[in-house]
Structure 1
Amino acid sequence: MGRNNKKKLVLASLVALVFLLLGNRVTAVSAKSYQKAITKVPGRSTYPVYQRVSKKGPKGKFTSTKHFKYAQIQSKQVLVTKKGTFWKIIVDGRPVGWVSQDYFTRNKISVAKRVSLVQNADFTFDTREAINYVADETGTAVDISKVSVSNPTINSGTPGRTIVTYRYGDAEASVPVTVRSNAKEGIVRAKKGPFLGPVAVPTWKGSSKSTSRNWNAKHNFTFETKPNTFYANGLTLRTELFQPRFVSLDYHQAADKMGQVGIVPEGIAVHGSNFTVAVFNSSKDQKGHLVSYDLKQIGKYQAQNLPGLKWKTFEKYAAHIKVSTYIKLGHGQAIGSSAKYLYVIANNNTAKNSIKSEEIMQIRKSDLKINQIWSFKIWNGTAKKHTGRYIHNATFVGNKTMYCLFHNGRKHRYEYWKVTRSGDTWTPVEIGATDSDFISNSSPVQGFTYDREHGQFYIGFNDYIFKVAKNGAHRETHRLNVKREIEGLSVSGNKLYVEFAQRGELTSGRTN
């Protein structure tokens, strides 16, 4: 055999060996299963969903992703085919079908448009809190701790503007962070004369002492099939919606905290037919998900069983239930809504009388992503001598006004603050005070809202609701005797909405 022929034979053998090795590698990774579900980032374009997939490609188109644009998407299986890569998706906890990897948002970091911080040397902003999500090259959500950040923290003691850059793989994003120039912003005098409030009443401390009819071991935590009506001294509440325990796969099936949506509701906002609840894996968490329901499209009972709904009903419900990404929400009980935005004070509910600033998250209702972030402070006194008014409970009226509740435990007094925004500046004014603890055993406030029509606040503890005029004068006490914790209050129009725990149940009644 000639020299050239020998070279050709050796080259052909090498090429064959390379193809053999590549073929073995492709076969090894062409199908993959995960023990626990990973979180996927849905895209906005519409793709078909198929019943089955083989190495030749997908078959059996039966729906499309147009129903799932704002759903919680998870997956445990991926398959590389001749027609691309396909993932078997789980939507809001229900296994659905196979979709092209092109459907997912890939190689992207989503961040707030901007961050504006009140001047305060005692507060340092964690810039990763401006991240909505990070998606890798396959559309899988990435833990934000893995993101490279040009400025991981910014102390708000010095005025100025910093462009913060985030990088992960081929994805990049940036956010301008500004520390505002007015050092006196948020420093005011608390000088409202208090009204004498009611004698503090006893209640339990800790978790709920009862459950809804079927939320217990005796009834195997099955679904509720009957509405409730609760009466309390002129207040009548009726069931609006029983919520699902999870809007995802349930306990221990998610590979990360981003994946599980449930099981603890902490705060609510209602605006018209839009109902939003802050949901956490644990009551100790500072990060969680917002879940929004269109009450006109969701029945009282069906949402409890998303995996068991008839297919067409599930498609409809999935299109009218929105789930946010895993974001900082604080305790979730300082929340409110305007027509276009949700607002959450992402506070630390264990902080007592701190002089740290607090963050306000403005979240778009259209896609439940953080739009922008402000920080604010309420300090009583002067710049040289002051005490903090760290806010645990607040409610929002429109886009430029929030009402805040502060408990002065030393004086056994509740203070009511109105905080208004002009540009990026938030200015507090004390508008009322009540000399009372309301509850005798220091149980925390679990719901706070403002009734604009009647100029009054509602304050919830366990299953008590106190009605207080804007200036702090006590009007009524409603004891519900439900023995389930109130997990949020909201007023929309002439309706008071009350969320109860175990099972998550939204009720409503007329304000007066």
Structure 2
Amino acid sequence: MKKTIKGVIITSALLAGLFVGAAHGQEVSAKSFGKAVTKIAGNGNYAIYHNVSKGGPSGKFTSTKYFKHGQIQSKEYVSTKKGNFWNIIVDGRKVGWVSEKFFAKNQISLAGSVSVVKNSDYSFPTRDAINYATDSQGTAVNPSKVNVSKAYVSTNDTTVNYSYGKAKASLHIDVRDGDGEMGQPDKDAKSGFKSVTTWNGGSKSSSRNWNAAHHYTSETSSNTFKSNGLTLRTRLFQPRFVSLSYGQAGDAMGQVGVIPEGITVNSGVFTTSMFTSSNDQHGHLVSYNLNAIKSKYAAQNLTTMGWSTFKSYANNIKVSPYIKLGHGQSLGSSSNYIYVLANDNNYTNGPRSEEVLQIRKSDMKINKIWTVRISDDRYIHNATFVGDNTMYALFHNGGYDNYEYWRLTRDGDSWKAEEVGATKGRFVSNSPVQGFAYDSNNFYIGFNDNIFKVGEDGTAKKHYKFNVRREIEGMSATGSNLYVQFAQRAELTQGRI
């Protein structure tokens, strides 16, 4: 839609929704979108301006260096004598006008390497290696629209060519034979816990203000949850969206929220997976630098906090591109990387391989992908990572009536699996596992309102029973701390273990 405004300067800072100004009788024609498109930042730093006219921008007030790792969206741009300028929205907040040169145009960003274990029962979808693809204006393109020379790889090394418009990229995918990588379930199961029941399905309660009666407003008081010596206290209430909210995004890549699935905390960086639907396999990772974000509450208010505070928060919150995350519940991290076991939670068990993603903390893009198998009849739904070379996986199937604990150790691109322990029983008879963590000696297995502490060999140690009535959405153990995330509103809690 074309809009024309004459003879007046209109600033984005003063009049939200009016997007372009013209001075001294100049006529400015702008392109406006009904819903926001997703923009991808390039490598350079550019000025951000309050105003724009036919002659170009004016009123420089900040730089893109504070916002390049946020979720960037826009509903409008204007063509000037100095090129196109876009009115950007970062993490759901209107910011200002920036040159189109800021965006990564005609680019396809791919994982640096992909190593697939040979498996006749599974083929790697090559689009899963895409970080992002963009058009000639730096607008994100859904990975499903990218052309690929080969859609799946399973048994032979292959070079795959990717293209969209003028954007082109290629990736050599290695297929390894996997000899010696799979293990055998050979541990005797230790005596377990008395099986308990809990509520099933979605959360039965919410935080104080996360409801229609309180209009989903921000929380202003923290929580303390106690059980059997474990005390969990609020560390961070998260934003409902780290983007524009419901219905405002014009593409699948735009909305960040509102469903969390998993977490990891390492070196003061807290990362959670976010989806728009519980059925999605693609979503975003959002990282919060807790070393800089001290407040338990302020992050909820990205769109209303003071400008200088927002600039600081935006600089300490990073959002990944729209990438394959699977269920998104199995996360881990090291000092430099985030790890995701991008499994399919609707696949109950069988011989399929699973994807492990290594994602750079620096820019939130996929660095490497491996596919792995622990056994020919063990499909993992929960996992966590210790450092850069070790993954712990939890296997449970009702037919076996026990939980198995597996360690996968990476050497180069190979992941060697071995069972380290097992525990008899079902723990909770009517709820799926909602979180899995490891603290160097013990596993923590979370269900709705229940957490179980188990020794590495499967010895049952402690049962923590809560009455929060909000789903656990991921757990992480680091040092002497256990972090547990609750849904509605997404709330990170922390306790000593």
Q: 1:281 to 1:185 in 2, by over 3 A?
A: farther
Match of 2:354 in 1: 358
Equivalent in 384, 394, 409 of residue 405 of structure 1: 394
Matched, 1:202 2:197: yes
Residue 131 of structure 1 pairs with residue 117 of structure 2: no
What SS class does the counterpart of residue 276 from structure 1 fall into?
strand
Please tell me whether the aligned partners of residues 335 and 343 of structure 1 are also in contact (alpha carbons under 8 angstroms): yes
Q: Does residue 221 of structure 2 align to residue 221 of structure 1?
A: no
Q: Greater share of helix residues, 1 or 2?
A: 1
Other structure's SS at 1:195 match: coil
Deviation string for 1:10-32 (max 9, x for gaps)?
xxxxxxxxxxxxxxxxx999411
1:187 is aligned to: 182
2:282 equivalent to 1:291: no
Find the aligned partners of 2:28 and 2:165 in 1 and give their Cα distance.
21
CA contact (8 A) 1:118 1:185 kept: no
What residue in structure 1 maps to residue 325 of structure 2?
329
**Equivalent residue for 1:260, pick from 236, 255, 261:** 255
Partner of 1:451: 439
By how many angstroms is 1:507 displaced? 0.5
Please give the TM-score of this superposition, normalised by the length of structure 2.
0.93
| Equivalent position SS for 2:309 | helix
Deviation at 1:54, TM superposition (A): 1.5
Gaps of 5+ in 1: 1-26, 380-386
Q: 2:342 aligns with which of 330, 336, 346?
A: 346
The letter for the 1-side match of 2:65 is: K
Distance in 2, Cα, partners of 1:237 & 1:313: 28
1:369-388, CA deviations, whole angstroms, 9 ceiling, x for partnerless residues?
00010001122xxxxxxx51
| Distance in 1 of aligned mates of 2:420 and 2:49 | 58
Q: Tell me the distance in 2 between the aligned counterparts of 1:30 and 1:399.
A: 52
Instruction: Give the corresponding residue for 1:96.
Output: 95
Counterpart CA distance in 2 for 1:257 and 1:200 is 41
State the partner residue of 1:370.
366
Letter in 2 for 1:240: R
Deviation digits for residues 35-65 of structure 1, max 9, x if unmatched?
Answer: 0000000122111111111212111111110
Map 1:400-479 onto structure 2 (within 5 A): 400-441=389-430, 443-452=431-440, 455-479=441-465
Q: CA deviation digits over 1:252-281, x for unaligned, max 9?
A: 100111000000000000002100000000
Distance apart, 1:217 and its partner CA = 1.6
* CA displacement, residues 169-212 of structure 1 (integer Å, 9 cap, x when unaligned): 22211111011024x44433211010110111010010111101
Give the counterpart letter for 1:193 in structure 2. D
Q: Which residues of structure 2 form unaligned runs of 5+?
A: 1-25
Judge conservation of contact 1:272–1:493 (CA < 8 Å) in 2.
no
Alpha carbons 1:390, 1:406 under 8 Å: kept: yes
SS in 1 for 2:95: strand
Distance (whole Å) between structure 2 residues aligned to residue 422 and residue 146 of structure 1: 35
Report whether the alignment pairs 1:279 with 2:304. Answer: no
Task: Please give the per-residue CA displacement for 1:140-184, whole angstroms capped at 9, x wherever unaligned.
Answer: 111222222111211x2x3x42111111222211111011024x4
Q: Residue 5 of structure 1 corresponds to which residue in structure 2? A: none
1:350-401 superposed Cα distances (whole Å, 9 cap, x missing partner): 111121000001101111100010001122xxxxxxx511000000001111
Residue number in structure 2 paired with 1:502: 488
**Alignment partner, residue 301 of structure 1:** 297
Report the Cα offset of residue 480 of structure 1. Answer: 1.5
Cα distance in 2, alignment partners of residues 414 and 56 from structure 1: 67
Structure having the higher Rg? 1
Q: Which residue of 1 aligns with 2:13?
A: none
Return the offset for 1:334: 1.0
Q: Secondary structure at the match of 2:247?
A: coil
SS class of match (2:122): strand
Distance, in Å, in 1 between the alignment partners of 2:216 and 2:144 is: 36
Distance in 1, matches of 2:36 and 2:28, equals 18
> How many residue pairs were aligned?
471
Aligned with 2:312 (options 301, 313, 316): 316
Q: Is the 8 A contact 1:408 1:415 kept in 2?
A: no
Percentage of pairs with the same residue: 59
Q: Structure 1, residues 397-443: CA drift from partner, whole Å, max 9, x if none?
A: 011110000003112110000111111111110110111100021x1
Q: Partner letter of residue 181 of structure 1?
A: D
Q: Taking structure 1 as reference, are residues 391 and 502 closer, same or farther at Cα in structure 2, changes over 3 Å only?
A: same
Correspondent of 2:236 among 208, 217, 241: 241
Describe the superposition over 1:94-147 as per-residue Cα deviations: whole angstroms up to 9, x where unpaired.
011111101111111100111101111000111011000011111111122222
SS in 1 for 2:128: helix
| C-alpha distance in structure 1 between counterparts of 2:146 and 2:494, whole Å | 43
TM-score, length of structure 1 as denominator length: 0.90
Instruction: State the 1:479 CA deviation.
Output: 0.8
**SS in structure 2 opposite 1:187?**
coil
Amino acid paired to 1:498: V
